[in-house]
Chains A and B, each alone.
Chain A
């Protein structure tokens, strides 16, 4: 079987949806962050595949930048989680209701 652009896009879509569903279903903030990383990775696949398809380097550059941004986002998210965990001993977002009405 030949692997075409479609396969890459389908794989990316599947990963993206997995991340999205995980983000909605799971209540553990760390898992939610991981699901977001999954979504970002799927975007990387799309960009890399299209970059190859168009024979244009722009997509690859985007992927590199995306790596760095995703890492920074994860680092900030985890730092805040550590801070919250020190105080509340939980990372379950349903327990964080100080700001609800």
Chain B
């Protein structure tokens, strides 16, 4: 039997430094936590921050180097398991940034750092490892690595969702996450095993070549695509595989929900883009030429509409801000899927740009909930009455995030949605654009409900109206997210160019 050996040469690993650094950081943070016996929590915290910054610096350097050389078509790592190319570089930066701000903000969160919590160091160590796993998800170009990276992200997420061991809600969220995650990954795996059987290849380019040669039965391929799409839709929480999402976000500690709503979703999109674009669209703009018997655009368009409509309509009647944000994140997955309908490079680039914007504004909104939860110990909308005046600066930034999530100009969310809409309209998918626009109008209502509670409603007699004192680090992190949200709404071309480049420099 021929065994295809994928033995890495050490020299490959120099392209993989950020991930390697994060893995080492994880081990050091865990050991550091052990050495200080969980008492001096700043040790794992400092190690994690330092590791994330170092990895980020290397990722930026690699990105610059790739851009200067004029071509970033990719270096394969560990045989052909992974590839570092323009798209991987883009997602690396996105994940490191998201994790860094989450780690910084979690330092001030009562849910993570509260007196009664155990194993605080583990949160930081796991976030670092989660970052590395998500980065691998964006780099995988082999069915094996695709599965392993998805499972790595999944397993870490299950533990992080159950971080508050003493809280039944947290454990319950974690259990639901495990059960749904395990079954959906099994379904995806079944699809992958059939795909391997039909094509005889594990690498994406091998699968593509087998598909081009046309020996694959179209009906069997449809089954495979549906099975694999199901597993990936679970990761990004698209309807009808979204059931876990609101429960997990509500039950998990809010900083964890924040990173869940951004990181694994973006990683899921990265994986979907690379897998479907390089195998089924043959890495070209000709769309889904290899799978003519599958009405791919309609399949994804229906999923997109269902996802955004469901997310928005259910978000309307939420009274818990955290749960409302969970449904809103489902709706945003619906918008993002619009860029996926035609598998064109313009659409994919707009997904990347929107993911960047979404990371900023959604993390910001979740972090505000964390900051308020520290004081109120509640996420109920009714408790938010008048909260805007008790912490005006943070409140103003929350308004920016919410306005951006709605997609109101001149904020970044508007630009991101604009690009997504153009990608669809270019190919005459008018009905999809109209439904999405109507959805945005619906979302205005529930985002505005939060703003109204914060600033416009008159609090009941006897409500505590003393100013809230937020930690200085919270202001810093919120500003780190709010300023780009504003700036990207006005000076977006640079970053849109980066997204275009990332898609253009995707190695097959």
Contacts and interface: CB of A to CB of B under 8 A. Distances in A.
B182 A36 contact: yes
Looking at B2, B175, B201, the one whose CB has the most chain A CB atoms below 10 A away is B175
A83 B173 CA distance: 12
Interface string B243-254: 000110011000
Interface size classification for chain A: 35 or more
Contact of A56 (B2, B173, B187, B194): B2
Contact of B2 (A47, A57, A62, A98): A57
B35 interface: no
B178 A80 contact: yes
Contacts of B151: 69, 72-73
Contacts of A42: 190
Interface in A71-100: 72-73, 76-77, 80-81, 83-84, 87-88, 93, 96, 98-100
B147 A88 contact: no
A99 B183 CA distance: 20
B194 to A, nearest CB: 7
Interface stretch (B154-162, B345-353, B480-488): B154-162
Contacts, number: 130
Contacts of A43: 186, 189-190, 192-193
Interface string B224-250: 000000000000000000000011001
B3 A80 contact: no
A66 interface: yes
Interface of A: 9, 16, 19-20, 23, 29, 32-33, 36, 39-40, 42-43, 46-47, 49-50, 52-59, 61-62, 65-66, 69, 72-73, 76-77, 80-81, 83-84, 87-88, 93, 96, 98-101
Contacts of B202: 58, 62
Contact of A73 (B168, B169, B178, B323): B178
Nearest to B251: A99
Interface of B: 1-4, 143-144, 147-148, 151, 154-155, 158-159, 162, 165, 168-169, 171-176, 178-179, 182-183, 186-187, 189-190, 192-194, 196-197, 200-202, 246-247, 250-251, 323
Contact of B196 (A19, A23, A59): A59
B1 A55 contact: yes
A81 to B, nearest CB: 7
B250 A99 contact: yes
A38 B507 CA distance: 36
Contact of A39 (B171, B186, B201): B186
A73 B181 CA distance: 10
Looking at B2, B154, B196, the one whose CB has the most chain A CB atoms below 10 A away is B196
A87 B172 CA distance: 11
Contacts of B158: 76-77, 80
B101 to A, nearest CB: 26
B179 A29 contact: yes
Contact of A23 (B183, B192, B251): B183
Contact of A81 (B2, B175, B192): B175
A50 B2 contact: no
A96 B172 contact: yes
Contacts of B193: 43, 46-47, 50, 59, 62
A53 B197 CA distance: 8
Contacts of B168: 84, 87-88, 98
A50 B196 contact: yes
B409 to A, nearest CB: 34
Given A47-B196, A58-B202, A80-B162, A73 B172 contact: no
